[in-house]
Chain A
Amino acid sequence: MVGLVDAAAGIVLAGGRSSRMGRAKAALEWHGSTLLQRTTALLARTVGGPVLVVAAPGQELPDLPPGAEVVADPVEGQGPMRGLATGLAALDGRGTVAFVCSTDLPFLHPALIRRVLREFADPGADVVMPVARGHRQPLAAGYRTALVPLIEKLLGEGDLRPGMLFRHCRVLQLDDDELLADRDVARHDPELDSLVNVNEPADYAAALARPEPEIVVERFGALASRGQRGPRTVRASSLGAAAAAVGITLDRHVVAAVNGDQITRDDQLPLVAGDTVAFLSSDAGG
C-alpha cells in the first residue's frame, strides 16, 4: 500500500485568478516562504514521483523547490479542469496516479495526502476525493492519469465543471470519519485543517496568525554536545526555522533528516505537525 504513495505524482494548480484575495495567492508570504513554494515542497516531500506546477499562460511564479517542474496551461480561462488535464498529461507515463491540489492549502499535511493516495489500491477508483464537513474537495484529491482523454473530451464539449467529470468516472469519496480513521491523520490533523483554503485576505490573515506547527528536534554527535542532548519541541514551519530555533546553522557540516527519511539541508523544506527533525553531522562515517 505504501508503494502507491512512493509511485504517485503531485500536481499543484497555480493558475487561479485569486480574484477574492486581490493579489496572486501563489506569491503570498508564508513564514519566510510563499504559499506556492510551501505547497509544492510539501507534495515533493510526500510523494515519490514527479511534482508539477501548472501555471496559467504567462503567469509569473515565485521560486519553487528544486526538482519541481513547471507546465504552462495552453489555454487561459478554462479553470481547474484545464489545469488538471494539463498536469495529468504532462506526467506522460511517469505515474498512474497523482495528488492534485490548489496553491492555497497552507495546512496541507502529508498524512492526508497518503490517506487519499492509498485508496487507489482499489483498481476501479478513478478519483479519490475527500468530502470534509459535507464539502467535496476536488482540489485536494487524487486522480488517475488515465482520465486525461475523458477530461479533454469534456473540455472539448465546453464543459468546464469538475462535477461533470465526476459523473463520468468512478469517484471514491472519503468523508470526515473515513479520513480520520487513518491513525496519522487523526493524530496530526484532527480538525482536517489540510483542507482549509485561503480565499480572502481575512482567511489569509487568520491562517498566518495561527501558531506554527510543533516539531520535535533531536541533535546528534557534535551538535549534541554541551548539554544539548535529547529531544526538544519547537514551533517552526520550515527546516530553517527549526534549525534557528535550536541555534543550528545549516552549513555544509550539518544535514537534517525529517522523520528519519529525507536527508537535506534545504532550509525552505516545509515542516508539519508531528515531524521529528534530526540534525546530524554531514561528516558521517569513518
Chain B
Amino acid sequence: MQAGGYFGRALVVDVEDRAARSAPLALDDAVLRAYLGGVGLGTWLLHRLAPAGVDPLAPEAPLAFVFSPLVGTPLTTSAKFAVVAKSPLTGLLTDALASSRFAIAGKLTGNDAIVVRGRAAVLSVLLVDGDGPRLEAAPELGGLSAAQAEAAVRERFGRGWQTAAIGPAGERHVRYATISHDGRHAGRGGLGAVLGAKNVKAVLVRSATRVSIADPHAVLAAAKDLRARSFGPATAKYRELGTLANLLAFNAVSTLPTRNFTAATFDGAHRLAAEELHELRGVARNSCASCSIGCEHIYSRKGGGTQRMEYENVFALGPLCGVSDPDDVFAASARCDELGLDTISAGGTIAWAMECAERGLIDAPWLRFGDGAALLRALDLIGAQEGLGALLAQGSRRAAEVVGQGSIAFAPQVKGMELPGYEPRTLHAMALGLAVNARGADHNRSGSYEADLSGEHDRLNGGAAHAAATVGTEDRAAVMDSMILCKFLRGVFDDPFTEWAALLSKVTGWDVDAAELHATAQRIVLAKRVFNQREGATAADDTLPPRFLETPLELGSGRVAALTADRLRSMIDAYYAARGWDAEGRPGRDDLAGLRLDRVELHDVAGAG
C-alpha cells in the first residue's frame, strides 16, 4: 500500500526537438522513507539520473522539480518544492526551494517529482498534467521576464496551470540564473541556466488528482495547532518586518558584509533598514499559499510600483556593493527579478568586480563601490552576457580565474557560490558551515549563524562547539528541506525531530520517530557530499577565500575578529569527526551502504573506514 502523501513515482521527461516523451520512475517506499522528498529525494534522483561528470548545461543533465509528502496538506508553510540539478556555477549539486501553488499543482499531477532532460529545438514550454507531458513551442516568450512569461502562458493555456519560468538570464545561461514561480525564486546555483540550456522557458503544471493522507483527522488537528503556534513570538520578526530586519541588527553586531567583505558594518545601513523602510514605504504584506506567517514585505518604489525586499537582496545589492540609496537597491532588486538572477551571486560578483576595478585589475573605471547606476549597468550587462557582463555572468570564481592577479583571494565564494550576508570572521560557526556545505557558501542548508547569534558559544572563538552547532543546523535543514516545511517555522518547535516525526507519521502512516529522522538527515547530508565527491570535489574545496583567513576585522568593542586557516582547519577536522568521516572528509563504506544508491562507485568516494 502506498504511503500517505506520496504517489510513489517520479515522471522523467525527455524534451527532444519539438516533443516530450516520458517514463515513470518508480519510487519505492524504502527510497521515499530514506529521502522523504524535496531536497533529499532530489539528491537521490540526481544520483540515479545524472551521468557522472555531466556538463550541467548539457541536454542529458537532469533538472528535478521535487515535491514532498506534506505538500497538499493543510500544514502551514508546506506548499513548497525543491529544484535540484548539477550546478553550472559550482559543478556540484545544487538544490533550491521555492513555494506556493506550483508545489501543490505539480504534486497533484500525480508525481512526487518531475525530472526534465534533453533540449528542445526552439524555445518551448513544458506542460505536465494528468495526461502526461507535452512540449509546446513558445518562441514569443524569448526575452521576457519570468513574471511576464507566467502572464503570457496563463493567457495562452488558461488559468488552471501553475508556472515556473526563467527570465532572460536563464535563456542566456548566466550561471546564477533562477527559476521562479509567482515572484519567488529557486535562486541559488544557476538552476535557471540549466532549464534555459534545455530551451525550456517554463514548466507548467496542472492538478489532476488527489493524494491520500494516512490520518486526515490527525493531520488537520496538527495543522490547527501548528498554525496557532505560527502566530507566536518565534515568527514575530518575519511577520512584523520580514527578513530585512536582519540588516540593522547585523550591522550592530559587525556581521553585515560591506564593500566586498572589506568591512562588517555599513555607514548607510540605517537608510536600508526594515525599521526605516517599513514606516516610510511599507505598503503590503504577502504570503505563499498555505502559509500563516506572511513574511513578505512589499515596499513602494520611487516613481511608482512596488518591490518585495528581503535581507539577502538588500545586503547583496546594498552594503556589499557600498550602495546606500534605497531606490538604487530597490531598482537593482527589481532588475534581478526581471532578468531572473540570484541576487546574492549577482551582488557578490559585482562587488568583487568593483574591487577589481578600484584596484585597476579590470578596465571598468565606471564600476565603483557606492554607485547605484553602475550597479544597474553591471546587472544589465550580465543579463545580456555583453562586454564585462559576459565575464561576470560566470560568477566570481570563474571571473577571478580569468582576471588573475590574485583576485581569487577576494572573490567572495566557496566552491564557486557567492557568500550570503553573514560575515564569517565574526560568526565562526557560520564560517565552518559556509566552508563545508555541499551547495557552497550557503545559509539555508547550513544555518549555523543561529548558534553564533544565540550566545551559546563565543562567535569569535571557533572550536568544537561550533562544529557541533554546524552539524546540528545542517541536519535540521536537511529534514525541513525534504519534508518540506519553511525554516521560518523552525523556532516554534520545542523538540523538532520528535515533532517532525509525528507530523510525518500522521501524513504517511509510517511509524517514524526522532531517531529515524536524525538518521535520515545524516543520510541526506551524506548523499549530497557523495554526489559532489563523485563529481570531483575533495576536502580541499571545504575552505574559505584567503581574505577571510588572512585579514582580521576589528569590532567596535576593540576586539579583533580573526579567523585563521588553522582555526578553520581545526573546526573542519571536528566537523568531519562529528560526521564520522575521515581526515579527508570521506565517509566510511558502512555509511555508504545506507544510501540506497546503486550507482555509487563506492571505491571512488569511500574513505578508509
Q: What residues of chain A have their CB less than 8 Å away from a CB belonging to chain B?
A: 2-3, 5-6, 48, 114, 184, 218, 220-222, 224-225, 229, 251, 253, 255, 257-266, 278, 280-286
Contact = CB atoms under 8 A, between A and B. Distances in A.
A263 B459 contact: yes
Interface in B51-68: none
A13 B458 CA distance: 25
Contacts of B490: 283
A65 B238 CA distance: 33
B556 A259 contact: yes
Nearest to A258: B557
Interface stretch (B34-42, B72-80, B245-253): B245-253
A229 B245 CA distance: 12
A42 to B, nearest CB: 14
Contact of A261 (B447, B491, B557): B557
A283 B234 contact: yes
Contacts of B245: 220-222, 281
Contact of A262 (B265, B422, B458, B558): B458
A8 to B, nearest CB: 12
Contacts of A255: 453-455
Interface of B: 233-241, 243, 245-246, 248-250, 252-254, 265, 274-275, 295, 310-311, 422, 443, 447, 449-450, 452-455, 458-461, 487-488, 490-491, 554-560
A281 B488 CA distance: 13
A105 to B, nearest CB: 20
A57 B112 CA distance: 69
A51 B544 CA distance: 32
B249 A266 contact: no
Contacts of A114: 558
Contacts of B233: 251, 253
A36 B460 CA distance: 26
Contact of A285 (B240, B449, B554, B558): B449
Given A222-B236, A286-B311, 18 more contacts: A2-B558, A2-B559, A6-B560, A220-B275, A222-B241, A222-B245, A253-B233, A253-B234, A255-B453, A260-B265, A261-B460, A281-B245, A285-B246, A285-B443, A286-B238, A286-B243, A286-B310, A286-B487
A261 B249 contact: no
Contacts of B449: 284-285
Most buried by A among B454, B487, B557: B557
B560 A2 contact: yes
Contacts of A260: 252-254, 265, 555-557
Contacts of B239: 222
Nearest to A281: B237
Nearest to A264: B455
Contacts of A261: 253-254, 460, 555-557, 559
Select the residue from A5, A260, A285 with max chain B CB neighbours within 10 A: A285
Given A5-B558, A284-B453, A253 B236 contact: yes
Given A220-B252, A221-B274, A264-B455, A283 B560 contact: no
A282 B488 contact: no
A283 B37 CA distance: 26
A265 B454 CA distance: 8
Given A260-B252, A286-B488, A6 B454 contact: no
A278 B252 contact: yes
Contacts of B237: 221-222, 281, 283-284
Contacts of B459: 263
Nearest to A224: B275
A286 B239 CA distance: 13
B491 A283 contact: yes
Contact of A3 (B461, B557, B560): B560
Nearest to A3: B560
The 8 A-B pairs at the shortest CB distance, nearest first, are namely A221-B245, A261-B557, A220-B249, A259-B557, A280-B249, A278-B252, A222-B236, A264-B455
Q: Pick from A5, A253, A262, A286 the residue with the most CB of B within 10 Å.
A: A286
Contacts of A229: 275
B252 A285 contact: no
Contacts of A251: 233
Nearest to A257: B253
Contacts of A2: 554, 558-560
A262 B422 CA distance: 16
Contacts of B559: 2, 5-6, 48, 261
Contacts of A263: 253, 452-455, 459
A258 B295 CA distance: 28
A45 to B, nearest CB: 9
A6 B553 CA distance: 13
A128 B132 CA distance: 81
B240 A222 contact: yes
A147 to B, nearest CB: 26
A46 B236 CA distance: 33
A204 B443 CA distance: 51
Contacts of B250: 284
A3 B449 CA distance: 24
A159 B253 CA distance: 49
Contact of A284 (B450, B554, B557): B450
Contacts of A265: 455
A222 to B, nearest CB: 4
Contacts of B488: 286
B265 to A, nearest CB: 8
Nearest to B245: A221
Contacts of B491: 253, 283
27 contacts: A2-B559, A220-B248, A220-B275, A221-B274, A253-B491, A257-B253, A259-B555, A260-B252, A260-B253, A260-B254, A260-B557, A261-B254, A263-B453, A266-B455, A280-B249, A280-B453, A281-B237, A282-B453, A283-B234, A283-B235, A283-B490, A284-B249, A284-B449, A284-B453, A285-B443, A286-B295, A286-B310
Contacts of A257: 252-253
A142 to B, nearest CB: 17
Counting chain B CB atoms within 10 Å of each CB, the highest count among A222, A260, A281, A284 belongs to A284
Given A263-B452, A282-B454, A283-B234, A225 B241 contact: yes
Nearest to A226: B240
B273 to A, nearest CB: 9
Nearest to A277: B252
Contacts of A264: 455
A42 B490 CA distance: 34
Nearest to B450: A285
